Amino acid sequence: KAGVTQTPRYLIKTRGQQVTLSCSPISGHRSVSWYQQTPGQGLQFLFEYFSETQRNKGNFPGRFSGRQFSNSRSEMNVSTLELGDSALYLCASRYDQGGYGYTFGSGTRLTVV
């Protein structure tokens, strides 16, 4: 059974550019969540998608957006990149029933220069 796949693994972007990250969940998982991880802030929740709808959103500026497709694959987009956006971006999927936990991907390491 394939795990959660995130692409690309590494990205280097320049300030002001935009970036799109992709996440393919485990087959059958319809809930996809995104987290940002930095040394100073730890893991911070960005948003969660279920059946192509954003169900929950963390406390991030509007430059951070996402979407989910009918096959449950999800993308997140960051526009007008800032140096502080450099982080490990993690995607997690799970069955959308109360008792299930997360399965995480390997993450995308974004460096903004």
Partner 1 sequence: KQEVTQIPAALSVPEGENLVLNCSFTDSAIYNLQWFRQDPGKGLTSLLLIQSSQREQTSGRLNASLDKSSGRSTLYIAASQPGDSATYLCAVRPRFDGNQFYFGTGTSLTVIP
Of 81 and 92, which has the nearer Cβ to partner 1?
92
From the list 19-27, 49-57, 60-68, 75-83, the region that binds partner 1 by CB under 8 A is 49-57
> x/- site string to partner 1, residues 3 to 22, per CB under 8 A?
-x-x----------------
For residues 45 and 24, the answer to whether their CB atoms sit within 8 Å is no
Using the minimum distance from each CB to partner 1, give the nearer residue, 31 or 78: 31
Q: Calculate Rg over the CA atoms of the chain.
A: 13
- Write the DSSP assignment of 47-109 as a string of letters: EEEETTEEEEE-S--TTEEEEE-TTS-EEEEE-S--GGG-EEEEEEEE-SSTT---EE---EE
Query: Under the rule (CB under 8 A), what is the footprint of partner 1?
Result: 4, 6, 31, 33, 35, 42-43, 45, 48, 50, 55-56, 58, 88, 90, 92, 96, 98-107, 109
